C-alpha cells in the first residue's frame, strides 16, 4: 500500500485523493459499491435490450400467427432454429401435438392436458429467463445504503480517533474522516437508487411479457381443443 498520507495536501477534496486517504475498510466498501454499481448497470442494459427484443419478436410472431398461414408451415419454418418467448411456446406445443399424432394416441383429453403442461413449462422457463438477475437489483437496492452506511460509520470512527490522537476538535482534524465517511454513503446511494428504480421497472415489464405469453398459451390451447373436437 502506498503511504497515502503524504500524497495529498490537507484540505484537498478530489474524489481520488479522498479514496486514497481512506481507511482500508472504507476502501473495500467503496470498491464493493462501485462493483455493485457496474454490475447493476450491466443488468439494466441487458434487460432493457432483452425486453425490447422480446416484445418486437412477439409482435412479429403474432402478426404471422394470425395472418392465416398454416400452422404446420409455421412450425416447420420455426423448428429449425432456437426460439424465444411466444415462438418457443408455439414450437413446444406443436411438437407435443405432432408427437401424439405420430404415436397414435387416442385420448383427446390426454392430448389437451399434455399440450397445456408443455406450454406451462415453457412459460415458466421463459419467465425465469426474463427475470434472471433481477433479484440482484433488488439486493443492491436494499443493501447498498447499508453498506455505504457501514463505510460512513467507519469513517466517523476514524475521525473520532483523529480527534483523540490530536486532542483537538479542529475542523482540519475532523474533516477528512467525515468526508470519506460521507463519500461512502454517497456511493451507496448512487448504487442503490438506480437499482431500485430499475428493479421496479424491469420486474413490471417482465410481468407484462409473461402475462402476454400466458394469454397466447390460453388462446392457442383453445384453438387446439377446437381442432381436436372437429376431428373427432
Q: Which residues bind another protein (CB under 8 A)?
A: 9, 11-16, 34, 37-46, 49, 171
* Min separation Cβ 180 and another protein, Å: 14
Nearer to another protein, 51 or 75 (CB): 51
* Min separation Cβ 38 and another protein, Å: 5
Nearer to another protein, 26 or 115 (CB): 26
User: Is the sign of the CA dihedral 17, 18, 19, 25 positive or negative?
Assistant: positive
* Min separation Cβ 75 and another protein, Å: 30
* Min separation Cβ 104 and another protein, Å: 44
**Cβ(205)–Cβ(213) below 8 Å:** no
H or E stretch at 169: none
* Min separation Cβ 35 and another protein, Å: 9
Nearer to another protein, 50 or 88 (CB): 50
Nearer to another protein, 84 or 221 (CB): 84
CB-count burial class (<10 Å; 0-12, 13-18, 19+) for 23: middle
Instruction: Of 5, 31, 37, give the one whose Cα is nearest residue 20.
Output: 5
Nearer to another protein, 197 or 223 (CB): 197
d(CA 232, CA 229): 5
* Min separation Cβ 212 and another protein, Å: 23
d(CA 24, CA 135): 29
**Cβ(169)–Cβ(163) below 8 Å:** yes
Please give the distance of CA 209 from its chain centroid, rounded to a whole number: 14
Q: CB neighbours of 158 closer than 8 A, spacing ≥ 6?
A: 23, 26, 177, 180, 181
Number of helices and strands in the chain (H, E): 7, 0
Nearer to another protein, 129 or 212 (CB): 129
Amino acid at each position: 500500500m502506498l503511504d497515502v498520507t503524504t500524497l495529498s495536501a490537507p484540505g484537498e477534496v478530489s474524489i481520488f485523493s479522498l479514496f486514497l486517504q481512506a481507511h482500508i475498510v472504507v476502501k473495500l466498501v467503496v470498491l464493493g459499491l462501485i462493483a455493485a454499481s457496474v454490475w447493476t448497470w450491466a443488468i439494466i442494459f441487458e434487460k432493457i435490450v432483452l425486453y425490447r427484443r422480446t416484445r418486437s419478436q412477439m409482435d412479429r410472431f403474432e402478426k404471422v400467427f394470425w395472418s392465416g398461414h398454416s400452422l404446420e408451415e409455421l412450425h416447420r419454418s420455426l423448428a429449425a432454429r432456437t426460439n424465444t418467448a411466444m415462438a418457443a411456446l408455439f414450437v413446444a406445443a406443436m411438437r407435443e401435438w405432432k408427437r401424439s399424432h405420430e404415436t397414435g394416441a387416442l385420448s383427446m383429453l390426454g392430448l389437451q392436458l399434455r399440450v397445456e403442461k408443455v406450454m406451462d413449462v415453457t412459460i415458466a422457463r421463459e419467465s425465469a429467463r426474463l427475470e434472471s438477475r433481477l433479484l440482484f437489483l433488488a439486493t443492491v437496492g436494499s443493501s447498498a445504503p447499508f453498506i455505504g452506511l457501514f463505510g460512513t460509520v467507519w469513517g466517523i470512527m476514524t475521525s473520532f480517533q483523529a480527534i483523540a490522537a490530536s486532542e483537538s476538535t479542529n475542523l482540519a482534524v475532523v474533516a477528512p474522516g467525515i468526508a470519506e465517511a460521507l463519500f461512502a454513503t454517497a456511493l451507496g446511494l448512487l448504487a442503490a437508487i438506480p437499482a431500485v428504480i430499475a428493479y421496479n421497472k424491469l420486474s413490471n415489464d417482465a410481468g407484462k411479457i409473461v402475462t402476454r405469453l400466458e394469454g397466447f398459451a390460453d388462446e392457442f390451447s383453445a384453438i387446439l381443443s377446437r381442432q381436436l373436437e372437429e376431428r373427432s
